[in-house]
Chains A and B, each alone.
Chain A
Amino acid sequence: MSVLKLNVINLEKSEYTGGKSTLCPGCGHDQVSNVIIQAAWENGIPPEGIAKMSGIGCSSKTPAYFFGKSHGFNTVHGRMPSVTTGANMVNRSLSFIAVTGDGDTASIGIGQFVHAIRRNLDMVYIVENNGVYGLTKGQYSATVEKGSRKKKGEANAQPPIDLCAMAINLGCSFVARSFSGSKKQLTALVRAAMGHRGMAVIDVISPCVTFSNNDESYKSYNYVKANDEVLHLLDYIPHFTPMEEVDIPEGEYEDIEMFDGSTLRLETIGSDHDPSDAMSALKAIHQAERENSHVTGLLYYEAGLQTADEVLGLTEAPLSGLSEAEMRPSRQSLDDVNAALRAA
């Protein structure tokens, strides 16, 4: 991608940046923040139309470090999906981009994660997954692999919860896994997720440099780098870029059209993976788990599922902008209500 000064809506990238990070130097989460900034800028999303959402924890602090021109809500631990649901219902014109952690998603807020998927909430849900509770100084989370070891203390004895497998089983319409060190792959996935209508879950392995970046941790930088099975090479072609101008990669590829008309191009390497096949996706995940490796790329995709706001049959205009006349029924209608109750 050539370096542009202005994006399609004539904004500089600085319009998408935020405050200075207070995370540990070298934290993978900051790389994810940079990818989010890059993706939104390249996609030309108006910053004021974005709502950035988060829960509690290191990951959930990051919305302070991107999209300084967007409203955001750093909510409570694990319960970001419900706040996003309420906000989405009253203003369906907003683009919801959420960042949470594995504590939020796989433990305290697992119920809200599950039900947001079940409702197909129209949002991008990025999990910055490091297998530890960072802000409380390094306890294991529920996504850490059995036998994985952090810098101090015992190895983890419990099996992990695989968020991608869970999301696929629940019928999530966009499920991907990536690595905070894989900037190109992650950028393409975040851009595609932003173009998707419905719930897009991206589980980003993002090593904790302070508590579990030792090589005995299966989520350390070196371990993931060495054990990352890439399903596809990804290229994202935005809807505003004519297809002819894009270099067609060599080898086999598959194009996936996003809701907004953009295209996610998957160049298949190694074994074929059809992202519309949930069983194949689950097989790839379980196979990788057995081999203590991580499979990355777009795991599962299904277009055209009804989103939460569509299911409810809301009026077209955002409810937050309705006038009193549109929200309060007429005086005559109350007379009719009273009459109906009298006759009941």
Chain B
Amino acid sequence: MEHIYNDFTINIATANGTGSQSSNLILLNSMFQMGVPVSGKNLFPSNIAGLPTWFIIRASDDGYQAPGNKAHIQILMNKDSWRKDLEKLEPGTLVVYNEDVKLPIDRDDCPAFGMPMTKMARGINPKLARLMCNMYYVGGLAHLLGIDEDVINECVSNQFKGKEKAIEFNLRAIGEGRAYAAENWADESPYHVESRDKDPDTFLVEGNEAVALGAIYGGVNLLSWYPITPSSSMAESMIEWLPELREADDGGTTCAVIQAEDELAAAGMVVGAGWAGGRGMTCTSGPGISLMSEFIGLSYFAEVPGVIWDINRVGPSTGLPTRTQQGDLSMLYEASHGDTQHVVLIPGTVDECFEYGWKAFDYAERLQTVVFGFSDLDLGMNRWSTAGFEYPSTPMDRGKVIRTQKEMDAVANYGRYRDVDGDGIPYRTLPGSGLDPILYRGTGHDEDGIYSEDPDVYYATVSRLRRKIDGARDLLPAPLIREEEEQQIGVIYYGSMENSITEIDDMLESTGLSVSTCRVRALPYHSEVEGFIERHEKVIVLEINRDGQLYGILRKELPSNLLARLHSVAYTDGIPPRARVYADKILETLEVAA
């Protein structure tokens, strides 16, 4: 038998609300602690309990983090998805199943490993059997794959920190599962884990928690939020970390947290905080952005700083609330009525989630406008590896705020909306200062903030706004470019596609192509993106949406002589991008374009 080390995908099919997430995280963390390059994807339903849920664990010495292109090991625990899950398997897939579900394994071509998991769990605690049975597949897999026992023990202890009874029960279940497998499972597994040298600094963390911590180090003063999947865990992480990190000397907090009545109010509070001189943020998903659009326009036009994180889920409408997509990008870039243009920061790793978490406030206050952070369910709610977050490398940029009469005197010809410095960014004063107060408004206004419907004044205002935001592109994070010497094919992508790009790139290069990649990290896009396109014969814009939203933005803003090189590859089905699917679509597109 061929033995395969650290290169396989496990698909675990369970029912939502049966505690399987704990089992899955113990498996994931154990492999991670052994130094196995591993990634986990939770495909969960919009439901609290009962509906089918899958967890995909991929081990890959090549560092591939996309969900695998097929399952090598299938765990069957859920009667509702049993038949369909079985049908999909390729011949040779190992099937580990709970015998107590009492459904047949009618696949002669797949080695099957049964265990009476519910019955065994009842032996430990009859009341908890429905939850505990999930620990038996952990034991079974530990046996098949060769997962280190001490590592599992440690992961269980961490998972149920402080709950001694839970630790005891779960360890017993895993141990029994392992022993049962050793005794009863005759066939051997070709798949194994093998310890690798792990950087002791690395750990796994959700993108949402990384942004939350970044915002706390960015000096956030107000978090207003309305619960919505998949963004809620960002707000909840902040609530968890704030007491430890943001307590003032008098014991009070330096960041207000308000669960708002709806997304409109959440956005309004951010605008109010920015207007009064604080750092306000909210986090939401696409439906929330739709509701916030009115305030986004106010922030843009009245020039009030604020930060909004969009953790993209599948739209349109309520869509697939627990699945991932990059379908909100063009909405964010031009949100709200009238001509608008917004800064969008697009992290692709948890390190960037942290970094843009704090930087977003600097950009918002520098540019006096709303700044979006754009993440998605895959990056936000799954766990990714980091070697530790890096402390902000630059001091806070509070922007052009006049706080004293002396500072006011130093600005020649001050007007709230006058472009004194020629960069499109005016100066502002804060409520409470008594310095040159105005009535802020979303209506037309002149350079002094006075109501105006004058045609020339209006055009001058919106032209300056265009200059301000469009002119900021090179202040924003530059793209991450990995360039081949032979500049044949360029692939532009962004955000969580980062987790699949290495594998896609390898698949393309295996066909003899020379492929460079360019990860866009902000809108309006940096001038280096244009340079990248200029240097490549054919450029693919690769996205997790239906319509090619970044492609559309590039087509609108690039010089026309470059447009013929651009080709859109956009696909979305709610699942994090499987490399094979996107690589094949790129190859098809290149063939048509040849």
Contacts and interface: CB of A to CB of B under 8 A. Distances in A.
Interface of A: 46-49, 51-52, 63-64, 68-76, 79, 81-91, 93-94, 111-112, 114-115, 119, 308-309, 312-322, 324, 326-329, 331, 333-334, 337-338, 341-344
Contact of B268 (A83, A93, A114, A337): A83
B264 A320 contact: no
B261 A111 contact: yes
Given A74-B443, A91-B278, A324 B272 contact: no
A343 B487 CA distance: 44
B118 to A, nearest CB: 30
A72 B439 contact: yes
Contacts of B437: 48, 68-72
B433 interface: yes
Contacts of A115: 260-261, 265
Given A314-B252, A318-B432, A83 B277 contact: no
B405 to A, nearest CB: 12
B261 A112 contact: yes
B171 to A, nearest CB: 18
Contacts of B440: 71-74
B256 A314 contact: yes
A89 B241 contact: no
A94 B431 contact: yes
Contacts of B451: 64
Given A85-B269, A87-B276, A333 B245 contact: yes
Given A86-B273, A315-B248, A327 B279 contact: yes
Given A74-B443, A114-B261, A334-B391, 5 more contacts: A87-B276, A89-B269, A90-B278, A322-B254, A337-B389
Given A79-B294, A86-B276, A91-B432, A328 B264 contact: no
A189 B251 CA distance: 36
A335 B41 CA distance: 28
Interface in B531-571: none
Closest 5 CB pairs of A and B: A86-B272, A82-B268, A90-B278, A48-B434, A315-B252
A328 B431 contact: no
A68 B467 CA distance: 31
Q: Which of A74, A84, A111, A338 has its CB near the most chain B CB atoms (within 10 A)?
A: A338
Nearest to A51: B431
B345 interface: no
B442 interface: yes
B430 interface: yes
B442 A316 contact: no
B250 A111 contact: no
A47 B437 CA distance: 10
Summarize A's interface: helix, strand, loop or mixed.
helix
B432 A112 contact: no
Contacts of B6: none
A314 B269 CA distance: 16
Nearest to A322: B254
Contacts of B254: 314-315, 319, 322, 326-327
B77 interface: no
Q: Which of A76, A83, A88, A329 has its CB near the most chain B CB atoms (within 10 A)?
A: A83
Nearest to B261: A115
A79 B293 CA distance: 13
Contact of B431 (A64, A71, A312, A322): A71
B280 interface: yes
Given A71-B430, A319-B278, A76 B295 contact: yes
B92 interface: no
Given A63-B439, A90-B222, A91-B276, A314 B253 contact: yes
Nearest to B205: A341
B146 interface: no
B203 A341 contact: yes
Categorize the interface residue count of chain B.
35 or more
A69 B438 CA distance: 8
Interface string B350-368: 0000000010000000000
Contacts of A76: 268, 294-295, 298, 442
A29 to B, nearest CB: 16
Contact of B264 (A82, A89, A318): A82
Interface string B274-293: 11111110000000000000
B57 interface: no
Contacts of A333: 244-245
B271 interface: yes
Contacts of A320: 221, 276-278, 430, 432
B153 to A, nearest CB: 15
A286 to B, nearest CB: 27
B261 A309 contact: no
Contact of A79 (B274, B295, B430): B295
Nearest to B436: A71
A117 to B, nearest CB: 11
B252 A82 contact: no
A297 to B, nearest CB: 30
A275 B166 CA distance: 56
A344 B204 CA distance: 9
Contacts of A341: 203, 205, 388
B221 A89 contact: yes
Q: Which of A74, A111, A320, A342 has its CB near the most chain B CB atoms (within 10 A)?
A: A320
Q: Which of A63, A72, A94 has its CB near the most chain B CB atoms (within 10 A)?
A: A72
Contacts of B442: 74-76
B319 interface: no
Contacts of A75: 268, 271, 298, 442
Contact of A90 (B252, B265, B267, B273): B273
Interface stretch (B81-89, B212-220, B494-502): B212-220
A344 B216 CA distance: 20
B144 interface: no
B482 to A, nearest CB: 27
B224 interface: yes
A68 to B, nearest CB: 8
A324 B396 contact: yes
B441 interface: yes
A93 B432 CA distance: 8
Contacts of A318: 432
Interface string B394-424: 0110000000000000000000000000000
B277 to A, nearest CB: 3
Nearest to B158: A344
Nearest to B246: A329
Contacts of A314: 252-254, 256
Nearest to A329: B245
Nearest to B361: A327
Given A75-B298, A79-B295, A86-B271, A328 B218 contact: yes
Contacts of A46: 434
B485 interface: no
Contacts of A309: 256
Nearest to A80: B268
7 contacts: A51-B432, A79-B268, A81-B268, A89-B278, A319-B254, A320-B277, A328-B396
A115 B260 CA distance: 8
B465 interface: no
A82 B272 contact: yes
Contacts of B217: 328-329, 334
B219 A328 contact: yes
B262 interface: yes
B438 A87 contact: no
Contacts of A328: 217-219, 358, 392, 396
Nearest to B266: A82
A114 B395 CA distance: 40
B268 A86 contact: yes
